Structure 1
Amino acid sequence: MLAPDLSRRRWRKSSYSNGTGACVEMTQGSGWTAIRDSKHPTGPALIVTKTQWAQFLTAVRNRFSR
């Protein structure tokens, strides 16, 4: 997969994020999701497939929804 241009993407963070700026942000494209540290918006982003993102969300929900 070629790295998408993330410079003009709309980034979102969880409604559970606190006000300290220590948040994870994400943006999605066609078949991929990019994740970055909100403290370093021009830093690197982790890009995963749609399937990998869904698996990650399922694992997080299963871990913290108890």
Structure 2
Amino acid sequence: MFTGETTPLFNPRTQRWSEHFTWSSDATKVEGLTTIGRATIVCLRMNNPVIVVARRRWTIIGWHPPDD
């Protein structure tokens, strides 16, 4: 949902991934837990169709999702 408000993006140097993101039940899409996570997903196109297909294949062969 777009609110028109400015939101900072996720900074991996100062923030923990697990506080802002989680994997969908099939591990193919990143889901935002916070406004920072959701804004980052949209801005960086983290769930574009090409990467979702790749994640599905990686899941089948056991390469995905990554260990935290």
Range of TM-score over shorter length:
0.3 to 0.5
Q: Which has the higher contact order (CA 8 A, sep 6+)?
A: 2
Q: Under a length normalisation based on structure 1, what TM-score does the superposition of the two structures give? A: 0.35
